[in-house]
Amino acid sequence: MTNRDIAAIFDRIADLLEFQSANPFRVRAYRNGARKIGDLNEPLSATAESDGGLTSIDGIGKDLAEKIATLLKTGSLPMLDDLLADIPATVLAILRVPGLGPKRAAIIHNELGVNSLEELRKACESQQVRDLKGFGTKTEQTILKGIDIAAQADVRTKWAKADVVAQELLKHMQGIAGVRRMQMAGSYRRGRETVGDLDLLIDADDGGAAMTRFGEFPSVKEVIVRGGTKMSVRLDSGLQVDLRVVPERSFGAALQYFTGSKDHNVEIRSRAKQRGMKVNEWGVFKVEGEEETYLAGATEEEIYATLDLPWFPPEIREARREFELAEAGPLPKLIKLEDIRGDLHMHTNASDGKATLEEMAEAAIDRGLEYIAITDHSQRVSMANGLDGKRLLNQWKAVDKLNDQLAEITLLKGIECDILEAGGMDLPDEVLAQADWVIASVHYGQNQPREKITERILGALENPYVDIVAHPTGRLINRRERYEVDIEAVFAAAAKHKKMLELNANPARLDLDDVHCAAAKRHGVPIVISTDAHHTGGLDVMRYGILQARRAGLTANDVANTRTFAKFKKLLGE
Based on C-alpha coordinates, what's the Rg of the chain?
A: 26
With a cut of 90, say whether residue 366 has pLDDT above it: yes
In which band, very low, low, confident or very high, does the pLDDT at 291 lie, cut at 50, 70 and 90? very high
| CA neighbor of 101 nearest in space, from 139, 128, 138 | 139
Q: Give the tens place of pLDDT for each residue, 329-344.
A: 999 999 999 999 999 9
- At residue 156, what are phi and psi to the nearest 5 degrees? -85, 155
Domain 337-571 maps to which CATH number in 3.20.20.140, 3.40.50.880, 3.40.50.410, 3.40.50.300?
3.20.20.140
Assigned CATH class of 3-152: mainly alpha
Residue 418: strand pairing partners: 441
Q: Are strands 240-245 and 197-204 parallel, antiparallel or unpaired?
A: parallel
What pLDDT, on a 0 to 100 scale, did the predictor assign at position 110?
Answer: 86
Is CATH 3.30.460.10 what the domain over 157-245 is classified as, yes or no? yes
pLDDT tens for 177-233 read: 889 999 999 999 999 999 999 999 999 988 999 999 999 999 999 999 999 899 999
Same CATH fold assignment for domains 3-152 and 337-571: no
The mean pLDDT value for 63-77 works out to 91
pLDDT over 90, % of the chain: 76
State residue 153's pLDDT score.
55
- What is d(CA 498, CA 163) in angstroms, rounded to the nearest whole number? 36
Kindly indicate the confidence band of residue 83, based on its pLDDT and cuts at 50, 70 and 90: confident
Question: What end-to-end distance do the CA atoms of the chain give, in Å?
Answer: 39
- Angle, helix 24-39 to helix 3-19, in steps of 10 degrees: 160
Q: What is the rounded distance in angstroms from the CA atom of residue 500 to the CA atom of residue 525?
A: 6
List the one residue out of 450, 447, 446, 480 whose CA is nearest residue 75.
450
How big is the chain, counted in residues? 574
Q: Is the peptide bond before 261 cis (omega within 30 degrees of 0)?
A: yes
Spatial separation of the C-alpha atoms in residues 24 and 26, rounded to whole Å: 5
* Segment 445-484, tens digit of pLDDT: 998 999 999 999 999 999 999 999 999 999 998 778 889 9
pLDDT band for 410, please (50, 70, 90 cuts): very high
Report DSSP letters for 27-93, one per residue. Answer: HHHHHHHHHHHHH-SS-HHHHHHSSS-GGGSTT--HHHHHHHHHHHHHS--HHHHHHHHHS-GGGGG
CA distance linking residue 124 with residue 130, whole number of Å: 8
Question: CB of 374 within 8 A of CB of 412?
Answer: yes
Residue 38 has a pLDDT of: 83
Mean pLDDT value of segment 362-370: 97
Q: What is the pLDDT of residues 147-162, one digit of tens each?
A: 876 766 557 899 999 9
Share above pLDDT 70 across residues of the chain, in percent, rounded to a whole number: 98
Domain ranges of the chain: 3-152, 157-245, 250-328, 337-571
How far apart CA 272 and CA 307 sit, in angstroms, is: 7
Is beta strand 230-235 parallel, antiparallel or unpaired with respect to 220-226? antiparallel
Mean pLDDT for 568-573 is: 90
- Average pLDDT of the chain? 93
Of 269, 264, 254, the residue nearest 199 (C-alpha) = 254
Q: Which CATH superfamily is domain 250-328 in?
A: DNA polymerase, thumb domain (3.30.210.10)
| Secondary structure letter of residue 499 according to DSSP | -
pTM of the model: 0.84
Mean pLDDT of 99-121: 86
Supply the pLDDT for residue 89: 64
| pLDDT tens profile 300-317 | 999 999 999 999 999 999
Q: Note the pLDDT of residue 58.
A: 86
pLDDT at 51: 83
